[in-house]
A and B are shown apart, each in its own frame.
Chain A
Amino acid sequence: MKEQLDNADTITFLAVADEITRRLSAVRQGREFGSWLRRTVGGLRPSKEGRQVIKAVCELGNFIVTTNYDKLIEETTGWKSCTWSDQHYAAALARPPAVVHLHGVVDNPNSIILSSAHYERLSINEPTQIFHRTLFASRRFVFIGCGDGLGDPDISTLMEFAYRDEPETEHYLLVTGKQLRRLNEHPISPQVTPVAYGSDFSELTPFLVKLVNNRPIAVSQDPDYYDRKPLVAVLGLARQAWDQLQAAGEAFRRAERAMDQVDNLGTVPDGMARWDYRDREAVHEQLAAAIRGPTLRLDSALVQVVGLVQETERHAGRLTARQFARFATDLRMMTDEVDGLESALWQLRGRVMRRRDDLEVRAGLSDGYRIHVDTLAHAFESVEVAHDTVHSIKEGLDELRADRLPEPPPAGGREMSQPGQAGTRRADLRAVPDAASPGFAEATEPDPDFFPHEVTAEPGDGVRLRFRSVPVVGSIQAGDFTLADPGNIEEYQTLPAQHVHGEPIFLLLVRGNSMAGEDGVLEDDYVVVRRQSAWGNGDMVVVFDPGEGAVLKRIWRRDDESIVLQPSNPDYPPLELQPGTEPAVLGKVIGVVRWQIREGRRPRPPG
């Protein structure tokens, strides 16, 4: 029977339930049914985390309604149970808190609704039906742990009645992100709105705890977000495209060798009579074939690159700094390969064209050369197609600003001294295109979480204070962080609105004291950052570094166009970028927040 329940639909479930009930009721005058219930459902005990989740749910309301038979909630909280077979069932709502067991409770086997006969018994119990319908029509439910369906025959009927009576009432169904798309496309009921609590079960408790404590919740409600892991999507495609390009490159090197053979035959001599064109046929055909094969392979590479561009637009903002650095390295390798391939193909195209033109002249003199001209004309077409394809790939990579990507990490890095240390630390500051930097895909719509919502307070006397709630998304020089990922928001801080205008803005926690000099930005301060790639001379900016994540510096462009990133602490040397290298500015610092919490003191009495 157990196998039958895997992926069972309602009818199968009921058939199994009927069979269980029939067999157990036949033993010991039906007492076995109760013993079995107590052994199974009655034996459940909440885990430590389970108690947390139960307590969080109890914070939501004074009643919890359930179709479960277990008493996990009652045992954790001391709330009382009530069920349909109780004498004063409906009156229970007047005496909160309580757990309403619509389908019975484990310690009363007669109340259990499991088999078809049980459901029938419940459906003809008029007072219970009236109470349940009133319950469903008068309350707004948040369904938790109900999977992606509410297909219980009794519950779905109650939902239909509730919709008829109170169509405007909105219920919520907490689901994992993976269930979102299906539920959005096929709603359970017009009244039930799915809300994702996270990627999997383990995120239910933190979600509920934040919900009941009115703390910020940063859980994406976008089905795309849960489709695939971004790293797999982007890096996987980059890797596949790279493999295809390498294979195409190798194949074209074979085509070049075939071309060498053609060239080795030399130009057709003027005294044609002494030259047998048939000898050349095989060599020309070999060349044409050698060019056609890799041309097809390049087509596959183009498909991969187009997919890569699309996936990157969707996901690049969600890569962490380290993931992005890997991605950047892959892109750089691809760009190099494509550049090399494009120039090799251009040369090959020229060689084939010259040979074809030469043979064209000969063909005018003798029809015997016509077949050679045709073969080389095909080879020329193939090489042109290949060149066009490579050009399209190049354009695709340019869309990712591949032409401005950083060089792959050198064996060593630029060294800079670290104050207070005898040794040195590495600083590899390289340019990263702003559109492809983590969190800064400007073409995509920024997440609403980064548009701080405004709150007002009116303490009296006509005073109206405005505040904005600004997300903290990570720390500077702490490495791995993803600005565009709302899941990365650690907390919100409410700040006076007049100091944090503009959007999107966010806060970063400062680590280290490289800006502790004249600017006075100390460790554990928060900087308010406005997301932008533009900068002016002397601005304090957050700059992306593939090795370290984000660093905080003042930025200057010298007369010779070289760029200096200047710490304000004189103990730290400035970082100079290579001429021609553009820094990847992630945002401009528009403010600094330092929390000072002091112990309250009792004022001295006057006099």
Chain B
Amino acid sequence: MMEALVRLREAVANRNDEGPTLTPFVGAGFSSAATSGASVFARPCRPAGPSA
């Protein structure tokens, strides 16, 4: 269960090496968190389901 977290940590730890680059992609929830929940556009988010 912890595998995903471990892989993410490794990816972050290697960010300055030659390995693949990890790029943050921030969504509306991020802006909302950064402004303590100020109202921002709710970007469309479909409920999680099988990828189209």
Our pick among B3, B22, B29, B45 for the contact of A60 (Cβ within 8 Å) is: B22
The segment from A39-47, A327-335, A388-396 found at the interface with B is A39-47
A192 vs chain B, min Cβ distance (A) = 9
Q: Would A142 and B34 count as touching, CB distance under 8 A?
A: no
Given A57-B30, A189-B51, A221-B5, check contact A149 B25 (CB 8 Å): no
A168 vs chain B, min Cβ distance (A) = 10
Q: Would B21 and A221 count as touching, CB distance under 8 A?
A: no
Instruction: State in angstroms the CA–CA spacing of A51 and B46 once bound together.
Output: 29
Given A172-B4, A193-B4, check contact A9 B46 (CB 8 Å): yes
B residues 1-52 near A (Cβ < 8 Å) are 1-5, 7-9, 11-13, 15, 20-36, 38-52
Q: Would A54 and B34 count as touching, CB distance under 8 A?
A: yes
Given A194-B4, A221-B1, A221-B4, check contact A49 B36 (CB 8 Å): yes
Given A142-B25, A147-B29, check contact A8 B2 (CB 8 Å): no
B5 vs chain A, min Cβ distance (A) = 5
Q: Would B27 and A67 count as touching, CB distance under 8 A?
A: yes
Q: Count the A-B residue pairs with Cβ separation under 8 angstroms: how many?
A: 206
| Chain A neighbourhood of B41, CB < 8 A | 41, 68-69, 114
| Chain B neighbourhood of A160, CB < 8 A | 51-52
Instruction: State in angstroms the CA–CA spacing of A150 and B12 once bound together.
Output: 22
| Chain A neighbourhood of B7, CB < 8 A | 170, 172, 193
| Chain A neighbourhood of B47, CB < 8 A | 9, 148-149
The yes or no answer to A502 lying at the interface (CB within 8 A) is: no
Instruction: State in angstroms the CA–CA spacing of A448 and B9 once bound together.
Output: 15
Closest partner residue, chain A, to B34 (CB atom): A50
Given A72-B34, A149-B45, A221-B4, check contact A141 B27 (CB 8 Å): no
The yes or no answer to A306 lying at the interface (CB within 8 A) is: no
Instruction: State in angstroms the CA–CA spacing of A212 and B12 once bound together.
Output: 7
Q: Would B22 and A186 count as touching, CB distance under 8 A?
A: no
| Chain A neighbourhood of B52, CB < 8 A | 156, 160
| Chain B neighbourhood of A146, CB < 8 A | 25-30, 45
Closest partner residue, chain B, to A166 (CB atom): B20
Instruction: State in angstroms the CA–CA spacing of A51 and B36 once bound together.
Output: 11
Interface string of A7-51 (1 = CB under 8 A from B): 011100110000000000000000000000000110011110111
| Chain A neighbourhood of B38, CB < 8 A | 44
The yes or no answer to A257 lying at the interface (CB within 8 A) is: no
The yes or no answer to A169 lying at the interface (CB within 8 A) is: yes
| Chain A neighbourhood of B29, CB < 8 A | 144-147, 201
Closest partner residue, chain B, to A157 (CB atom): B52
The yes or no answer to A507 lying at the interface (CB within 8 A) is: no
| Chain A neighbourhood of B2, CB < 8 A | 221, 448-449
Q: Would A151 and B45 count as touching, CB distance under 8 A?
A: yes
The yes or no answer to A214 lying at the interface (CB within 8 A) is: yes
The yes or no answer to A152 lying at the interface (CB within 8 A) is: yes
B3, B12, B15, B49: residue with the most chain A Cβ atoms closer than 10 Å: B12
Q: Would A66 and B26 count as touching, CB distance under 8 A?
A: yes
The yes or no answer to A195 lying at the interface (CB within 8 A) is: yes
Instruction: State in angstroms the CA–CA spacing of A65 and B33 once bound together.
Output: 17
Our pick among B5, B12, B48 for the contact of A186 (Cβ within 8 Å) is: B48
A residues 251-307 near B (Cβ < 8 Å) are none
A57, A114, A140: residue with the most chain B Cβ atoms closer than 10 Å: A140
The yes or no answer to A53 lying at the interface (CB within 8 A) is: yes
| Chain A neighbourhood of B11, CB < 8 A | 140, 142, 170, 172
Our pick among B24, B33, B40, B48 for the contact of A183 (Cβ within 8 Å) is: B48
| Chain B neighbourhood of A205, CB < 8 A | 33
Closest partner residue, chain A, to B35 (CB atom): A44
Closest partner residue, chain A, to B29 (CB atom): A145
Given A54-B34, A147-B45, check contact A186 B50 (CB 8 Å): yes
Instruction: State in angstroms the CA–CA spacing of A70 and B32 once bound together.
Output: 11
The yes or no answer to A188 lying at the interface (CB within 8 A) is: yes
The yes or no answer to A190 lying at the interface (CB within 8 A) is: yes
Show 15 residue pairs from A and B whose CB-CB distance is below 8 angstroms, ordered by the A residue: A8-B42, A8-B44, A41-B40, A44-B40, A50-B35, A53-B30, A68-B27, A68-B30, A114-B41, A141-B24, A145-B29, A147-B27, A149-B48, A187-B50, A217-B5
Apart from A148-B45, A214-B9, list 20 A-B contacts with CB within 8 A: A8-B42, A14-B44, A47-B34, A53-B30, A53-B33, A60-B24, A61-B24, A62-B21, A64-B25, A143-B27, A144-B24, A144-B26, A145-B32, A146-B25, A146-B27, A147-B27, A150-B27, A190-B51, A193-B7, A221-B3
Q: What 4 A-B pairs have minimum CB-CB distances, sorted nearest first?
A: A145-B30, A151-B46, A145-B29, A50-B34
Binding site for B on A (CB under 8 A): 5, 8-10, 13-14, 40-41, 44-47, 49-51, 53-54, 57-58, 60-70, 72-73, 114, 139-153, 156, 159-160, 163, 169-170, 172, 179, 182-183, 186-190, 193-196, 201, 204-205, 211-212, 214, 217, 219-222, 448-449
